[in-house]
Amino acid sequence: MNQPLKIGTFQPSKRILLGPGPSDVHQRVLDAMARPTLGHLDPEFGNMMEELKTLLRYAFQTENQLTFALSAPGSIGMESCFVNLVEPGDKAIVCSNGVFGRRMAENVKRSRGELVMLEDAWGSAVDSQKLEDALKAHPDTKVVAFVHAETSTGVESDAKLLTEIAHRYDALVICDAVTSLACIPLLVDEWEIDAVYSGSQKGLSCTPGLSPVSFSERAVAKIKQRGHSVQSWFMDLNLVMGYWDEAKSGGKRTYHHTAPINALYGLHESLVMLVEEGLESRWARHRRNHLGLVAGLDALGLKLPVAERARLPQLNSVMVPEGISEPQVRADMLAKHGIEIGAGLGDLAGKIFRIGLMGTSSSQENVLTCLAALGSVLATQGWKARSGAAIEAANKVFAV
């Protein structure tokens, strides 16, 4: 190469992240990540890993020994659950009501399991009766999987009830909690969920790239007793346990892969912040800010496609009104106001916006800023309702 490359330090703009994730990362988390890198087998780092596991047990509300963070985003949590818990030929029911349910089905197929697919309408919760009927028809089902908080639509499904039904038929449960952890109640032990995975970048407001997971004793027993070895070396939890599980490694962690040290400092800090706030207060904050946003959207004349009882406070789907250009609204929100909101995915592409209020991003200030910006952006496309009314409506909710 003759010419020197003219590429300097990357300086990202300051945004307000109100999409489906990532959410805004708190400065405390960014500061934690800037601390000196330790070796991944350094005893000091090992102590931090033990703390991290304790903190994650709090977040998941579990005593599960095998609770830790996988070194990759939420998708690896999903994939690890399937490759470890679904053996070739195992029957697995996937209850799907959106993009991420469909991905679970793909994971069953790739694990060479026998897929029984249950589809519910996008925008509705998973139908528990359908699951019960499917289990009656397929009593040899080994695994039932569902998404607790379907990010593609903004819908909550009843994880407790679905787990209860699956257990009546002796099936293990895989629950996707990528968008639910630290936003809405998720009680892993009380609901007896067997395998649960999440992501670092939503309710926890850490940087993307880590996947907290937790496995019940029953799930661990299944993994240990598999007849076939897990086809993925990296995701084989029997091997990963030697690094993360002190009991399994006899107090001597062994090298599996080089852990993302500084990212784990960040996750540790985000969990310390969760403990400081308290899970219940965190859930209440998400609900309150959601109600403020909904009141404002209503005053703007915008409609929500999800029935009130199934709405996720952390992910708000909003119908794109007739005559409004959806991509233009998102582009203007970003360019003129520095606010990222999400587009619809899959079947809902072009039909909805998705406004996330997750973790650090879930604040009264962000609700008001978003409503003001949205009102002004819609006005440029001829929409009549104005931001003033929306802000007033949201403030009424916040004043109570």
Ligand X SMILES: Cc1ncc(COP(=O)(O)O)c(C=O)c1O
Q: Which residues bind ligand X (CB under 6 A)?
A: 20-21, 73-75, 78, 100, 147, 151, 176, 178-179, 199, 208
Measured from the Cβ of residue 205, the count of other Cβ atoms closer than 10 Å reads 26
DSSP SS3 for 156: strand
Rank residues 99 and 299 by Cβ distance to ligand X and give the closer one: 99
Rank residues 195 and 390 by Cβ distance to ligand X and give the closer one: 195
CB of 368 to ligand X, least distance (A): 26
CB of 3 to ligand X, least distance (A): 37
Rank residues 143 and 147 by Cβ distance to ligand X and give the closer one: 147
Residue 107 and residue 26: Cα distance in Å, rounded? 33
Tokens of 228: 């076939």
Residue 121 and residue 92: Cα distance in Å, rounded? 20
CB of 148 to ligand X, least distance (A): 8
Instruction: Cite the beta strand spans of the chain per DSSP E.
Output: 16-18, 66-70, 91-96, 114-119, 143-147, 149-150, 155-156, 172-176, 195-197, 211-215, 315-319, 339-343, 352-356
Rank residues 70 and 370 by Cβ distance to ligand X and give the closer one: 70
CB of 11 to ligand X, least distance (A): 25
Tokens of 369: 């800023």
| R_g of the chain computed on alpha carbons | 22
Q: Is 131 in contact with 144 (CB distance < 8 Å)?
A: yes
CB of 247 to ligand X, least distance (A): 28
CB of 289 to ligand X, least distance (A): 19
Please report which residue ranges of 86-213 form alpha helices under DSSP H: 99-110, 128-137, 159-168, 188-191
Taking CB atoms, the residue at the shortest distance from ligand X is: 74
Rank residues 20 and 359 by Cβ distance to ligand X and give the closer one: 20
Rank residues 65 and 316 by Cβ distance to ligand X and give the closer one: 316
